[in-house]
Structure 1
């Protein structure tokens, strides 16, 4: 090692921990939000009993507000607590037995959808940071719809095919009943997320700016 290398190494900044106390608090709060949304106004749809809840709203809001990593942690925490026995799945259900039911695909899809829309939200917020107008809400809504269609609805259909023994056409038709409500819930999720980012600009954009300027 030469003498000229020592000052450089001495000035090298230390890496900070990935999450601070605020991040952990947000993860816990949004996990509780997802849990609470599962228990409010659960309305069974069709003969399979897969319920309409406010979970899509809470899950998509979690991703739009927190970004991919923290959203994954929040929804993952919710799932772990439910699998461990807390009655926080729709209808007050709990345990691993929910994975044998027709709604199993939707439950797993929540985790992937929150992560995907969180990643897309980072991209949208970063690229529209200096722009005004209607582009940002439109792009965020598109991100929410794409994520929910691919992961929540896609895995939901697969779950009904596997656990309820439905063929694709019947599972697809059963899933269509959720689309009108999910469109409304995604609109609400985007509206709330935009309000949160306006009130708390550092909620996600700080991380975007930090990532853009990191050497």
Structure 2
């Protein structure tokens, strides 16, 4: 691997900082508690947006920075939560999975260059921002609660419709950005 792989241009740093801030701002939207262990938050949509709009690498680093700041104690997660104590909760796998799911979302989106922008955005959001995030989050839920893996999986079912709505919203936001800033997605041609 060349050393250029991890060099950042000014635009990269700005994008990373901006999307870390967007992720924090999404935490200001009140969480909805369905169960005692897991809230519905807007922050999983931030994972989708970052991976699609700024790509797998910058998206990963933006959400990684956000995650580190939240785990360091800043109250950036929905409901003003933050700190290492979150690693012992049902949401731990999801929090740890945010950067990985962001990378996966961006990677899947990039791999779908032949598909239309809305289809690639929606599929990238669903496969990376939901499936990959759940693949990391559900075992974390089971590990930190008294639920079996099967029960943790069933416990996540009520969250799927909301996450699909977030994927649709992500698609609509990306389409709006593409109309105003077509150069942001020019690499797809």
TM superposition score normalised by structure 1? 0.79
Matches within 5 A, 1:30-69: 30-48=19-37, 50-69=38-57
- Residue in structure 1 matched with residue 143 of structure 2 by the alignment: 162
- Residue in structure 2 matched with residue 109 of structure 1 by the alignment: 97
Q: Output the CA distance in 1 between the equivalents of 2:5 and 2:101.
A: 28
Contact 2:30 2:79 in 1 (8 A): no
CA shift, 1:20, in A, is 2.1
- Residue in structure 1 matched with residue 9 of structure 2 by the alignment: 20
Contact 2:55 2:103 in 1 (8 A): yes
How many residues align structurally?
A: 186
Structure 1 outlier segments of 4+, above 3 Å: 15-18
CA shift, 1:204, in A, is 4.6
Unaligned runs of 5+ in 2: none
Unaligned runs of 5+ in 1: 1-14, 129-134, 210-215
SS of residue paired to 1:60 = helix
- Residues 184/17 of structure 1: CA separation in 2 closer, same or farther (3 Å cut): closer
Q: Output the CA distance in 1 between the equivalents of 2:70 and 2:172.
A: 28
CA shift, 1:160, in A, is 1.3
Contact 2:52 2:106 in 1 (8 A): yes
- Residue in structure 2 matched with residue 175 of structure 1 by the alignment: 156
Contact 2:130 2:163 in 1 (8 A): no
- Residue in structure 2 matched with residue 205 of structure 1 by the alignment: 186
SS of residue paired to 2:75 = coil
Q: Output the CA distance in 2 between the equivalents of 1:24 and 1:196.
A: 20
- Residues 101/123 of structure 1: CA separation in 2 closer, same or farther (3 Å cut): same
Rg larger in structure? 1
- Residue in structure 1 matched with residue 84 of structure 2 by the alignment: 96
Encode CA deviations 1:18-72: one digit per residue, 9 max, x unaligned: 4322221111111111111123121111232x11111111110111101100000
- Residue in structure 2 matched with residue 137 of structure 1 by the alignment: 118
Cα RMSD of the aligned pairs, angstroms, is 2.1
- Residues 21/204 of structure 1: CA separation in 2 closer, same or farther (3 Å cut): farther
- Residues 76/104 of structure 1: CA separation in 2 closer, same or farther (3 Å cut): same
Q: Output the CA distance in 1 between the equivalents of 2:157 and 2:54.
A: 28
Name whichever of 149-158 and 94-103 sits farther off: 149-158
In the alignment, does 2:110 pair up with 1:122? yes
